[in-house]
Amino acid sequence: MSIITIEELPARLSGGKTLAGLDLGDKTIGVAVSDRGFAFAHPRPVIMRRKFSLDAAVL
């Protein structure tokens, strides 16, 4: 997994793949996944935060 700037993102995206977004809160982790054309983000079930190792296993 790479960490890049938002400006670098378009050059790294190739067609036919999806993109996941995470919203890390204190009590929950919100998850959304794009369609293959990067036009829509589809919400996924919210993850209730526990220990890091358990959260990572769910993700």
In a domain, 3, yes or no: no
In a domain, 32, yes or no: yes
Q: Per this entry, what is the length of the chain?
A: 59
* Separation in Å, CA 14 to CA 9, 28, 47: 10, 30, 28
| pTM for this predicted structure | 0.73
Bridge partners of 21, per DSSP, are 32
DSSP secondary structure string for all residues of 21-53: EEEE-SSEEEEEEE-TTSS-EEE-PPEEP--HH
In a domain, 2, yes or no: no
For the chain, how many structural domains are there in total?
A: 1
pLDDT in tens, 9-49: 888 888 788 889 999 999 999 999 999 988 899 999 999 99
